[in-house]
Chain A
Amino acid sequence: MTLLTAILALVGLALVFGAILGFASIRYKVEGNPIVDQIDSLLPQTQCGQCSYPGCKPYAEAIAGGEKINKCPPGGESTIQALADLLGVEPEPLDAEHGEESVTKVAVIREDECIGCTKCIQACPVDAILGAAKQMHTVISSECTGCDLCVEPCPVDCIDMVPVAPTVQTWSWQQPATTADLITAKNDNLIITDKGRGAAA
């Protein structure tokens, strides 16, 4: 009798939990692959195509499908690190084949040379170039991702990629030098406050 009760109880529990799980799997079904969106949100969204995929989302999909994580020069080491953390894989050095990590740049059109061909406008993945046919074009620098895609199509080569100069608002401290010869009074901004200083007086 006890045995029977136990079996019945377990069967009953199994059925109940099975039903709950079954319901949950239908009710809370996740559409699409959520990892792709997570990867996509880590990528720099320059849409530059340096990874050989036509945009950040396709590369995110490729990574979800097993592609290497070190093909994004604009993202650089920090993106590789973030991707490695997300996917639980070992971070690898940036694949130099796809370009090197460089400072953030912004496209600048030499406006007196622009002939108004609209080719750069069509190339820009984020609509950061303003202009009309036979009218001068200009780059909305706050929208420019520095992806380089507008440089190639320009027939008169009037687009320069200019490194973004830090302003007082965007400036941040450099990583402290770790070798002694670099630490001098004139090339660092530090004021070292360790013991013994200021004791002279």
Chain B
Amino acid sequence: MSQAIKLWDIHGGIHPAENKSQSNQQPIRVLPLPKKLYLPLQQHIGNPAELTVNVGDRVLKGQRLAEANGFISASLHAPTSGTIVSIEPRQIPHSSGLTAETIIIETDGKEEWCEREVIKDYLHTDPMALLGHIRNHGITGMGGAGFPTSVKLTPKDDDHIDTLVINGAECEPYITSDQLLMRERADQVIDGISVLGQILKPKRCIIGVEDNKMDAVKALRESVEAHPKTLPFEVKVAAIPTKYPSGGEKQLIQILTGKEVPHGSIPADLGIVCQNVGTVAAVAKAVLEGEPLISRITTVTGDAVSDRGNFETLIGTPIQDLLSHCGVDDSKLFRLIMGGPMMGFTLHSTDLPVIKTTNCILAATEQEFPNPAQAQDCIRCGMCAEACPAELLPQQLYWFSRSKEFEKAKHFNLFDCIECGACSFVCPSHIPLVQHFRFAKGGIRQEEQAHIKSEHAKMRFEARQERLAKEEAEKEARRKARAEAAAKAKAEKEAKAKLEADQVTETASQPTGSSVEDDKKAAIAAAVARAKSKKATSTPDSGVDVKALKVASSQARAAHLKAKRALDAAKEAGELSAEQLAEQEAEVSKLQTAYEASKAKLDAAKNGNSTPSAEQATAPAVDVKALKVASSQARAAYLKAQRAYDAAKEEGSEPEEAFNAQLKEIESLQAAFEKAKAALDNAKSGKGAVSPVAPAAQTKDATDPAQTLENKYKQLKVETSQARAAAKQAQKAVDEANEQGKDSEQLKALETVLAEAVQSYEKLNAKKLVLQEKVKLRKAAAASSDANNAEVTAAESTPAKRETSKAAPTETTANTEDPAQKVKELKVAASQSKAAWRKLERELTKAQEAGEDTSELEQQVSAAKTTYEQANEAKTKAMAALDS
């Protein structure tokens, strides 16, 4: 085969001293069987193999010791028969000098083979079966990296392989193992190519051999010609110019095919697969002889050994055995290198074993490989860039690697560096460039790993946070549910307790015990009371007012209801004359108005909208009334406080603080009163009419004397208070004048004013009192008739009566048909009449104190007392009726 093969050139490259002749003079020799073999589980790129044997097992030659763990991994086989004496971590021949699990076999010298699987007819075997066979026999790349061969022979689906490149370049100095293999076992190489051809079905195969190994080229060409039947594709043997690093995979492909493998791609993407001659021979051995990768040809060279040459060495043979066999001179041995001088690495021990990738053991003297000279600064001469076969800019990469600017190094295609060492070789400053690049590559890989890990950690952290938040929410929901249940239970308990207490007090007159309604009612009452107290506390400013208003409102309502009921009862009974009836009706409607007014006022106060002027603007008619009520109530409160204050003052026994507090209260009350009054005046004047009551009420005013009476009374009250205020002011002025010692004329004038004011006040007050008593009497009468009415209703409890009571428009659920409810109502009526009586009594005492005319009051008190007694009687009766 002498046809010319077109060759391309690669960029850069160097021509180091070859130093191959020392070891390629003798044929391949076989090393005597060592006593022990050390087989690390990791001799290849990828995952370490997984053990399939145990300590103490006897293993046969070729028996599998560990199987491939994952896709990128390789099996391991016993190189000879023997016993596994240990499986332990031992230092492995790796540039890191780290330890890894190692199987130690004590050989027995019998070379007893296990059963071998041979595929003679590989040309008619399924490629997948062949691939599996290669994988099972632990074949890895023999060139140096040790990549599992089966992986490299399994191209992606869309990659069609058209060129098989066999790498026999062996460009690195000193190494001759491939040369010897090609020279002596060319047939094995060609058989291997035939097997690979069956798997990959390429169109052609090119074997690249440097032209310093013409003996190997000759042997291969002869072998190719001798095997025409097994090679269904074109096989060429190309003698390529000797130049380092033409043996690099990408470089050889470029030299032989002119194609450059792009950044980030693999040769298979271009339809090319590249295999080392040693690997191809191992494939042939595995398929044709059933021999797994258990031995390899290793070059032993260097000036420290006397007998240099190539040896067929079992995997796991200690390097010491190899060196001893070759006559090593320990005193001369300065540096032990595995691999070539360019890409190999220093070994720090001779105890290390030969592994699948050990193509050369270089035992060098100090003259051969002295310590490196100290690195000088980069002078940016650019020689490295000229030498770089990957067309990189080593001088730039050096800066970035040195300053750990890995990102920039990446941008300058650091990962296209094949670490051939050409740049270091040419560097005039002796900068260990490749070491810097290896460091940078490692750093970037570590950063990438760290980033992957941190992303993973972030994911887990976020998942955890989410889970915790969810748990927290669930807990909160459960807690809430529990709290609600507890509150409910508590409320029920409270209601029950209250009910029981009620029963205890009531047992004397009401032995029936609790009914369901009572239970409920008590609960409702408790809830209402709670709500009320809550509201009162929540609005502390208007709390007093709202409370007073509430009381007024409920009182007004009760009075109204009573009057209504009384009227109904009277109508039913037909007792009253027409005139009386009319009067009563007027009374009822009046009471209703009062109730509504107070209610409106209450609502307004509740809404915090308690400024009377604002209220008045929205609903003048009702508001004026409401204001009046408020005003009078405020005044009553004020008076009461004043009274208490005076009493305390007289006694002088109250502690100072309480005194002050009372004073303050009085002041605030007065302020409230004046405010209410001012609002009232405002409303009156603002609306132009003195009494802009609702039209209906107005007509009633005209017709109904009772209404007029009430109105008059109210007006009088206002006037009275005004007069009183004036009197007070006058008094104050006089006092001030006295104190300041003003002249007698002014004082006199003031005194006159005061006297006038006092007089008018007294007059008005007297009038007012008279009217007040009248109004009260009327109310008491109404209450009494209501009580009577209730009594009748309770006693008879006929449906008709119930209907009448139902007819009351403002009646609420509290007033139901149930006699028990009636009793309750009666109770309320009784207590109310009692309260009215008590109030009157208080008024009486006050009047007596004031030295006023009390005869009328006394009458009223006795009347109220009678009313109460009546109501109480009615209540007792009703209770008795209910019991019976």
Contacts and interface: CB of A to CB of B under 8 A. Distances in A.
Interface of A: 40-41, 43-47, 55-56, 77-78, 81-82, 85, 125-128, 143, 145, 166-168, 170-176, 178-180, 183-186, 188-195, 197-201
Contacts of B660: none
Contact of A189 (B95, B404, B456): B95
Contacts of B373: 194
A40 B98 CA distance: 35
A101 B173 CA distance: 43
A194 B407 contact: no
Nearest to A195: B425
Interface of B: 16-17, 19, 22, 42, 48, 92, 94-98, 100, 173-174, 303, 334-335, 337, 341-342, 344-346, 348, 365, 367-375, 401-402, 404-407, 421, 424-427, 430, 432, 434-436, 438-439, 441-443, 445-447, 449-451, 453-458, 460-461, 463-464
A190 B17 contact: no
A179 B450 CA distance: 30
Given A171-B96, A192-B372, A143 B460 contact: yes
Contact of B341 (A175, A195, A198): A198
B304 to A, nearest CB: 12
18 contacts: A40-B458, A78-B447, A126-B461, A145-B453, A185-B346, A185-B369, A189-B346, A191-B345, A191-B369, A192-B372, A192-B432, A194-B372, A194-B427, A198-B17, A200-B368, A201-B19, A201-B303, A201-B368
Given A185-B371, A197-B368, A200-B303, 13 more contacts: A44-B450, A45-B453, A45-B458, A145-B453, A171-B94, A172-B441, A174-B439, A192-B424, A192-B430, A195-B425, A195-B426, A198-B174, A198-B341
Contact of A190 (B22, B425, B435): B435
Contacts of A173: 95, 435, 438-439, 441-442
A173 B438 CA distance: 6
B45 to A, nearest CB: 10
B374 A183 contact: yes
Among B100, B342, B406, B457, max chain A CB count under 10 A is at B457
A198 B19 contact: yes
A127 B405 CA distance: 34
B460 A189 contact: no
A172 B346 contact: no
Nearest to B437: A173
Contacts of A176: 375, 432, 435-436, 439
Nearest to A188: B346
Contacts of B341: 191, 193, 197-198
Contacts of A191: 335, 337, 341-342, 344-346, 369
B464 A171 contact: no
A190 B434 CA distance: 9
B449 A170 contact: yes
A195 B421 CA distance: 11
Among A46, A56, A85, A173, max chain B CB count under 10 A is at A173
A121 to B, nearest CB: 11
Nearest to A144: B457
A96 B426 CA distance: 43
B407 A168 contact: no
Contacts of A179: 374
Given A85-B407, A168-B96, A190-B346, A201 B22 contact: yes
A172 B374 CA distance: 23
Contacts of B337: 191
Given A183-B374, A194-B430, A171 B457 contact: no
B346 A126 contact: no
Nearest to A124: B464
Given A145-B453, A189-B346, A191-B345, A168 B98 contact: yes
A178 B433 CA distance: 12
A44 B334 CA distance: 44
A127 B334 CA distance: 52
A145 B438 CA distance: 26
Contacts of B406: 78
B436 A189 contact: no
Contacts of A193: 16, 341-342, 421, 424-425, 434
B425 to A, nearest CB: 5
Contacts of A180: 374
Contacts of A128: 460
A191 B421 CA distance: 10
B42 A168 contact: yes
A82 B464 CA distance: 27
Which 10 pairs from chain A and chain B are nearest by CB?
A: A172-B442, A45-B454, A180-B374, A192-B372, A171-B96, A173-B438, A193-B421, A45-B457, A126-B460, A176-B435
B303 A167 contact: no
B336 to A, nearest CB: 10
B455 to A, nearest CB: 7
A44 B342 CA distance: 37
Given A168-B98, A192-B432, A127 B443 contact: no
Nearest to A201: B19
A185 B337 CA distance: 11
A41 B451 CA distance: 8
Nearest to A127: B464
Contact of B424 (A45, A175, A194, A198): A194
Given A190-B435, A193-B424, A194-B425, A46 B345 contact: no
Contacts of A178: 375
Contacts of A195: 425-426
Contacts of A127: 460, 463-464
B372 A183 contact: yes
Contact of A145 (B100, B335, B368, B457): B457
Contacts of A85: 407
A172 B457 contact: no
A78 B405 CA distance: 9
Nearest to B339: A191
Contacts of A45: 453-455, 457-458, 461
B338 to A, nearest CB: 9
A52 B432 CA distance: 42
A184 B335 CA distance: 11
B233 to A, nearest CB: 38
A170 B446 CA distance: 8
A169 B815 CA distance: 90
Among A41, A188, A195, max chain B CB count under 10 A is at A195
Nearest to A40: B458
B445 A172 contact: yes
A173 to B, nearest CB: 4
B245 to A, nearest CB: 11
Among B348, B372, B374, B427, max chain A CB count under 10 A is at B372
